[in-house]
Amino acid sequence: MSAPVSIHTLANGLTLIVEPMRDVRSAAFSFLVPAGSVHDPVGQNGTAAILSDLITRGAGDLDSRQLTSALDNLGLQHNETVGVKHLGFSAATVADRLPQALVLYGDILRRPHLPADQFDACCDGLEMMLRAMEDEPRQKAMVELRRRCFPAPWSFPTDGHLDDLPSITAEGVCDHFARLAMPNGSILGVAGHVDPEQILSVVEEVFGDWEAGTEAEVVEGSRGPAVDHIAYDSTQTHIGIAYDAVPYRHEDYYAAWAAVGVLSGGMSARLFTEVRERRSLCYAIAAVLNSLPHDGRVLCYAGTTAKRAQETLEVTLGEMIRLGEGIEPGELERCQARAKSSLIMQQESTVARAGSLARDWFHLGRITTLDEVRQKIEALTVETVLEYIDAHPAGDFTVLTIGPEPLEVPSGVS
């Protein structure tokens, strides 16, 4: 069972959110720092990604090997990620070791060594990952779809771009950290068997004198082409489709989520049953609702043979449009059942809950309880979902294909 959420904003702007979970023995944190890929300089996409690797290679009084040992000695399951807006630092361990973990991350976030002699190794690691993606067209299709359906720089790939790597320098990565790693705009979510007053005391001691900075402005640019093709010598074609939706903060978000769930919420959903099972057009198909702070898209992927690609595209677009013609009560009930199962698992996961706390604060400026989410899901009806679809119909599609030949987008839907 969770106790009431405690929220405290330090004088320097760092927001701490703590949710005690009395029935677990672990604790976790999710730390969001506003230094994500949206702030990569033009022509140097990948700067934030390199920083997320370099930043843990020594901090405070510890060199890279010593820092790794210190994290391991605490039994931390930790992860550093690059998001669109933030660098993310998450960790979980037994509850009584969490304060020590926060002290270590105080050094990582405030006093990293960012050693120049390890910069090339970070670049090499990122280059290998990006080249591996070139051999995974499904993953590449979704990255390239985002580059075309969202405006720059929100469309920048979080892991960077191969063509930009040679332009990134160690000095540029250090400058990225110096400009953007700051307490104001940073969010720390903590969940687990913890005492909020103790966590607040530790956070104030470790981060209280972290000097605030000037938050960077994001200047929005244009979107990519609505229909595009990347030539790839293969017997397969990979199709990415996007259309407008509402962001997480929108009052109709849960209706939007349900609409996508009817399309692609498991093996009984429409895209799977119609495109894959009944017509045998593709070997993989799925759609998700993707949200930026101010904008949302439905992103869909379908993998098929080159011979069946055109039909796959047409049938998939048709199913998206046909959603507005009606939804069966059973389709919505299956979406609600899956969501409730997910909520139960989240109640037992400190990592998931810490991440939700930080995400909610960033997107909403408040915390949604699991009970509130459950009530919103249970309140959905076929009528409310159809009202959302009527107000936000599938259309104005962005279509990106990877394969031997471009496809023809049917007239009237592009």
pLDDT tens per residue, range 117-158: 999 999 999 999 999 998 899 999 999 999 999 999 999 999
Domain termination site, one of 148, 174, 207: 207
What is residue 342's predicted lDDT score, i.e. its pLDDT?
Answer: 82
- For residues 171 and 25, membership in a common domain is answered with yes
What is residue 413's predicted lDDT score, i.e. its pLDDT?
Answer: 67
Q: Which residues pair with 30 in a beta bridge?
A: 90, 189
What is residue 341's predicted lDDT score, i.e. its pLDDT?
Answer: 84
What is residue 390's predicted lDDT score, i.e. its pLDDT?
Answer: 97
- For residues 198 and 298, membership in a common domain is answered with no
- For residues 151 and 63, membership in a common domain is answered with yes
What is residue 412's predicted lDDT score, i.e. its pLDDT?
Answer: 64
- For residues 336 and 398, membership in a common domain is answered with yes
What is residue 267's predicted lDDT score, i.e. its pLDDT?
Answer: 87
- For residues 47 and 170, membership in a common domain is answered with yes
- For residues 136 and 11, membership in a common domain is answered with yes
- For residues 386 and 338, membership in a common domain is answered with yes
Q: Give this prediction's pTM.
A: 0.94
pLDDT less than 50: residues of the chain: none
Whole-Å CA distances, 138 to 32, 96, 124, 283, 382: 28, 42, 23, 12, 33
In total, how many domains does the chain have? Answer: 2
What is residue 105's predicted lDDT score, i.e. its pLDDT?
Answer: 98
Pair 260, 286: CB distance under 8 Å: no
Q: Name the residue type at position 369.
A: T
Residue pLDDT, tens place only, 165-177: 999 999 999 999 9
37-75 in b/e form (b: 16+ CB < 10 A) is: bbbbeeebbbbbbbbbbbbbbbbbebeeeebeebbeebe
What is residue 3's predicted lDDT score, i.e. its pLDDT?
Answer: 73
Domain that holds residue 367: 227-403
| CATH number reported for the structural domain that contains residue 144 in this entry | 3.30.830.10
Taking the mean position of all CA atoms in its chain, how far away is CA 295?
13
Structural domain includes residue 213:
no
Whole-Å CA distances, 411 to 82, 272, 314: 38, 24, 11
Return d(Cα 339, Cα 150) in angstroms, integer. 27
Structural domain includes residue 222:
no
